[in-house]
Structure 1
Amino acid sequence: MSSMQALENARAILAEADAKLDKLRGIEPYLIDLSLRENPVGSNVGQTLADKLSILPKLRAFGFKHISLGTLDYDMPDELEVDDDFMRHLHAHDIDMTGCFAFTALGIEKDGVFTPSPSQGKLKNYGVPNTVHEIYLSKDGMAKYGVYDFETLCRSLPASIRWLQENIRGDHGGAPRIFINIVDGCDAFASNLEETCQALALLAEQPIAGVTIEDDRGTFLPFQVGAYVKVIRNFLPPPFKILVHIHGGAGFENASVMEALLNGADGIWGGLPKRAAIIGHASIGELLANLARLGNPHVESFDMENLLPLATHLQELDEKGAVPDDLPILGHNAYRLTFTAFRQTTHRFMDLAPEMLGGRYGYRVCAVISDWPVIAHRLSEITGRSVDDFPEKPMRQMIRLMRRDLRAGERIDYDKPPQLLQLYERAKSNLEQPGPPSSSADHVSTLS
C-alpha cells in the first residue's frame, strides 16, 4: 500500500469517528432526573422529607424538565417511605408537579379482572402526573421479581397501561406520559430474545411515551448495550423515546451511554451526582459534562456553571461526607493539576475546563511528576500569597530535594501543607548555603 493510499484510509477511518461526534453534538438529550431517589438509595443515610423539599426547587432551577419524585413499587408497600410523604406533601400543598414522574409496578389481569398494583393506586392518590412503569422480561426476572409468566405479562401490560391512561391526570390535565422500564433489559436481550422482541412489538401498539432499559449490575459491555438499543429502535421508531440507565459495576457505564446514544437512544435517567444503588452509575452530571466537551449546544439549556457545585452539594447531603476525591469529572482531584501539561482548556478539542461546570483548577503535589509551576500554585493555595512570591529557582530546588528523598528511601506526602512548607524552607536554605546534597532525615523525622 502506498503512503498516499494509507493516508486516504486514515482520513476515511477518522471520518467515521467524526460522524459519530457530529451525531452526539446534535442530540437534544431527554433526561429524567433521579437525584431524589437514585442517589439516596445508594447512600448510607438517605434523604428526609425536609431534604427532598429543599432539593426539588434546586433541580428545577438547574433546568430539569423531567424529574422523578421517587419510587412507589417497593417491597412492603404498607410500610411507607419518605418518597410517599414527599409526594403526599406536594399534593396536599398544591405544589406544581408538572413534568414529574414516579416509578410504579405492573398491575395484573387474571380471569378477565384487572387489579392495579398498590403503586398505581398511590400514583393516583398522590396526584403524580407521569410514571415509569416497570416490568421484567428475563425468565429469572419474571419469576423472581415480577411474579408472573410471559403470557400473564402480555395480557396484563395493555390493561395496566389502559388503567393508567384512564385514572392518572397528566401534565396540565392531559394524558400521562408512560415509560415502560425493562428493569432487567440487558439480561432479557441476552437470555430471552424472542419473548423480549414480542413484548417490544406489543409496546409499539400502546399509547406510551417510550421504553427504558437498565444494565442493573453494570456488567454488559458498551457495544452490547448499543446493540440492544438498536433492536429496540427497530421496533419503536420515533416519536417513541428510548432511555437507558446504566450502573457502574465494571467501569463501562459512561461508554455504554455513548454507545446507546449512537445507536438510537434519546437519553438517560439517573441522578445528577455519581452516587447510585451499587457503586455509582452513568450520572446525568457526567453525561452533560461529556456532551459539553463535544460542543453539544443543547446542554446550555441547563445551568452548567452550577453543575459541579450542585452535584457536590447533593452527594455530600446524601453521604454526610465528601465526594470521593478521584471521581472522574465530579471529584475534587479531577481538576487538581499534578503536572501543567494535564490542564484542560476552553479552546482545545475534547477538553472541558472546570470553569464550564462551575469549578476551577486546584493543584496537587506528587513527588514524582509535579513540575515547578504546580508546586508554586500549591504553595500559593496553602499560604494565601501570590503565586509570583514563589519563583522558579527555589521551586526547581524543591523538585531536586523530593527526588533525593525518594532515592534515600524516604516516602513523604508533600501535598500536605506542613510537609510542603518544610520542603520549601529546605529548598531556600539549600540555595542560600551551597554544599553537598541535603538529606531530609533531620527535617522530616516527625513527618514520615
Structure 2
Amino acid sequence: MVDPQALQQAHDALAGARAKLEKLRGIDPYFIDLSLRENPVGSCLGQTLEQKLRILPLLREFGFQRIQLGTLDYALPDEPEVDDDLMAYLRDHGIDMTGCSAFTAIGIAAEDGSFTPDPSQLKLRDYGVPNTLHEIYLSRRGMQGNYDLPTLRRSLPASIRWLQQNIRGDHGGKPKIYINIVDGCDAFMESPEAVAEILTLLADQPIAGVSIEDDRGTYLPFQVGAVVAAARAFLPPPLKLLVHVHAGGGFENASVIEALLNGADGAWGGLPKRAAIIGHASLGELIANLVRIGNPHMQAYQLDRLLPLATTLQQLDEGGPVPEDLPILGSNAYRLTLSFFRQLGDRFMDLPPEAIGGRYGYRICPLVSDGPVLAGRLAEVTGQPAASFPPALTEQMIRLMRRDLRAGRRIDYDQPAELLALLARAERV
C-alpha cells in the first residue's frame, strides 16, 4: 500500500513545480538585445559597420524594442571601434535610435564636489544615443585600480545627474539609465553589506533599473537566484532588475530561469549563443524556453524567424557553421537519431522545431537509429519521399549496421555515400 504521507509529499513537491511554471508563464520579460555587441565580442572575426547596419533592422523586425548598439567604455577611448562608427552613422543619417542604448562607465566625483565625466559619457552625448547601461564594479578586485567604495558612493549620484542633464532620451525625454553591476555575483558573495548600501542608494536615484552579471558563468543557478532575491529586497518595482549570465560552467539558461523565479524582470544578451567566453544565456534560448512552457507574451516576437535569424547571426560572427550540438539553436538539436526523441506540439514541455521556425532532420547513429529515422535520412539524401523506403528495407539496413559494428567495422552511415552503400547492400539481401 502507498504511504499516504509520502504520497502527500510527492503531491506537494509537484504542486511547487507547477506554481513555478505558472509564474514563468505569466512573466512578460524585459529584454535588451545585445546581438550587435555580445556576439562579436566572442568572435574571431568581429562585425563590420556594413554588417551591423544590416543586422539592426532585422532585430527590430523580430520584435526587440530595446537594442544595445555597442560599448563606449572600452580601453583606449582615443582609438574608436566599429561601435563608434555605427552610432555616428545612425546620428548622421537621422536613423531612429528609439529604445537604443550603449555601455558607459561612471564619471568620478572628487571630494571637493567637482565631477569629471567618463569619455564614454561624452561619446554617448555626442552620438545622440538616448539610453545607457552604466557600468560599475562592487567587489574589491573589481574596484581595484578604478575607485574605492567612498568614491563610488559619491560618484554614482553625480554620474547619474550628469546623464540626466546631458543625454536626450527617447522622444526628447529623460534617458533610461540601467546601472550594470559587472561583478554583481562576486560582490554579493564577498560583502552583501556593501552591495546593500549601494542598492539602497540607487533605489532613490532617477534610474530605470539595475542589472547584475555572472560575468564568468561560474555561479550555480541557486546562487544566482539568491543574489537576485537579495537585490530585489532593496530594489522595489517599478525599478527593473535584469541579469546577464555567461556559460562558463554550463549553468547559464538554468541560472536565468532561477533569476526570473526569484524576482528578475528580464535579461540582456545576444539572440545567438556566441558570446564573450564560450557562450551565454542568449535571448534566443530564453525565448525558446518560454515558448516551451506556453508563455503567451512570446507571441510579440516573430517566432517563425527565431531559429533562422539566430543561426544566420551566429554564422556571420563565426565565419562558419553553428556548432552542431548547440542546444536549441544547433543543427543536431533537431536532427532525430531515434524517432522516440521527437518533440510534439501537444505534449507537455516539448518544443517542436516548427514552433521557432525550424524543422526536423535526421541523423544516423548505428546503435539506435530506427526505421523512420533511416527513411527520413534517405529522403534527405535522395530527394525521394520517405514512404518509398518500406519498413522491411530499413529493418534490413538496421541488421546490417549491427553486424558491421559487431565485426569491428565503424562506419559513418550518416555520410550520404556510406548511407547509399548501405541501402544498396540491404536491397541485395
Q: Residues 77-103 of structure 1, C-alpha deviation per residue, up to 9 Å, x if partnerless?
A: 000000000000000111000000100
Does the CA-based 8 Å contact 1:335-1:362 persist in structure 2?
yes
Amino acid of the structure 1 residue aligned with 2:28:
E
Question: How much has 1:194 moved relative to structure 2?
Answer: 1.4
Partner Cα separation in structure 1 for residue 271 and residue 96 of structure 2: 21
Equivalent residues in 2 for 1:366-405 (5 A)?
A: 366-405=365-404
Question: How much has 1:192 moved relative to structure 2?
Answer: 2.1
Amino acid of the structure 1 residue aligned with 2:144:
A
- 1:176 partner SS: coil
Equivalent in the alignment of 2:142: 141
Question: How much has 1:6 moved relative to structure 2?
Answer: 2.4
Partner Cα separation in structure 2 for residue 272 and residue 142 of structure 1: 30
Equivalent in the alignment of 2:63: 63
Amino acid of the structure 1 residue aligned with 2:417:
P
Equivalent in the alignment of 1:3: 3
Partner Cα separation in structure 2 for residue 78 and residue 4 of structure 1: 71
Equivalent in the alignment of 1:116: 117
Equivalent residues in 2 for 1:18-97 (5 A)?
A: 18-97=18-97
TM-score, structure 1 as length reference: 0.95
Equivalent in the alignment of 2:184: 185
Equivalent in the alignment of 1:440: none
Equivalent in the alignment of 1:320: 319
Partner Cα separation in structure 1 for residue 28 and residue 2 of structure 2: 42
Partner Cα separation in structure 2 for residue 85 and residue 2 of structure 1: 69
- 1:235 partner SS: coil
Equivalent in the alignment of 2:246: 247
Q: Residues 195-237 of structure 1, C-alpha deviation per residue, up to 9 Å, x if partnerless?
A: 1111111111101111001111100000000000001110001
- 1:213 partner SS: strand
Does the CA-based 8 Å contact 1:139-1:192 persist in structure 2?
no
Partner Cα separation in structure 1 for residue 382 and residue 123 of structure 2: 56
Equivalent in the alignment of 2:217: 218
Partner Cα separation in structure 1 for residue 302 and residue 68 of structure 2: 19
Summarize the Cα distance change of 1:406–1:23 in structure 2 as closer, same or farther, 3 Å threshold.
same
Q: Residues 347-366 of structure 1, C-alpha deviation per residue, up to 9 Å, x if partnerless?
A: 00000010011000000000
Equivalent in the alignment of 1:345: 344
Partner Cα separation in structure 1 for residue 318 and residue 360 of structure 2: 24
Equivalent in the alignment of 2:422: 423
Partner Cα separation in structure 1 for residue 295 and residue 69 of structure 2: 28
Partner Cα separation in structure 2 for residue 108 and residue 262 of structure 1: 36
1:168 aligns with 2:196: no
Equivalent in the alignment of 1:302: 301
Question: How much has 1:70 moved relative to structure 2?
Answer: 0.3
Partner Cα separation in structure 2 for residue 337 and residue 393 of structure 1: 20
Amino acid of the structure 1 residue aligned with 2:230:
V
Equivalent in the alignment of 1:130: 131
Question: How much has 1:119 moved relative to structure 2?
Answer: 0.2
Does the CA-based 8 Å contact 1:31-1:268 persist in structure 2?
yes
Question: How much has 1:2 moved relative to structure 2?
Answer: 5.3
Partner Cα separation in structure 2 for residue 195 and residue 63 of structure 1: 38
- 1:426 partner SS: helix
Partner Cα separation in structure 2 for residue 230 and residue 388 of structure 1: 54
Partner Cα separation in structure 1 for residue 239 and residue 19 of structure 2: 24
Q: Residues 258-278 of structure 1, C-alpha deviation per residue, up to 9 Å, x if partnerless?
A: 000000001100000000000
Equivalent in the alignment of 1:438: none
Q: Residues 276-331 of structure 1, C-alpha deviation per residue, up to 9 Å, x if partnerless?
A: 00000000000000000000000000001100010011001111100000000000
Amino acid of the structure 1 residue aligned with 2:51:
D
Amino acid of the structure 2 residue aligned with 1:343:
R
Q: Residues 136-192 of structure 1, C-alpha deviation per residue, up to 9 Å, x if partnerless?
A: 000000014xx1000000010000000000000100011100000000111101112
Question: How much has 1:9 moved relative to structure 2?
Answer: 2.1
Question: How much has 1:12 moved relative to structure 2?
Answer: 1.3
Partner Cα separation in structure 1 for residue 318 and residue 372 of structure 2: 35
Partner Cα separation in structure 2 for residue 15 and residue 237 of structure 1: 28
Partner Cα separation in structure 1 for residue 97 and residue 63 of structure 2: 15
Partner Cα separation in structure 1 for residue 306 and residue 279 of structure 2: 17
Q: Which is greater in Rg?
A: 1
Question: How much has 1:3 moved relative to structure 2?
Answer: 2.6
Amino acid of the structure 2 residue aligned with 1:348:
R
Partner Cα separation in structure 2 for residue 365 and residue 307 of structure 1: 26
Partner Cα separation in structure 2 for residue 376 and residue 425 of structure 1: 14
Partner Cα separation in structure 2 for residue 355 and residue 180 of structure 1: 38
Partner Cα separation in structure 2 for residue 103 and residue 204 of structure 1: 20
- 1:131 partner SS: strand
Equivalent residues in 2 for 1:352-367 (5 A)?
A: 352-367=351-366
Partner Cα separation in structure 2 for residue 387 and residue 252 of structure 1: 39
Equivalent in the alignment of 2:256: 257
Amino acid of the structure 1 residue aligned with 2:68:
S
Partner Cα separation in structure 1 for residue 8 and residue 250 of structure 2: 35
Question: How much has 1:8 moved relative to structure 2?
Answer: 2.2
Equivalent in the alignment of 1:107: 107
Equivalent in the alignment of 1:435: none
- 1:166 partner SS: helix
Equivalent in the alignment of 1:406: 405
- 1:249 partner SS: coil
Question: How much has 1:389 moved relative to structure 2?
Answer: 1.1
Task: Kindly report the root-mean-square deviation, in angstroms, between the aligned alpha carbons of the 2 structures.
Answer: 0.8
Does the CA-based 8 Å contact 1:242-1:265 persist in structure 2?
yes
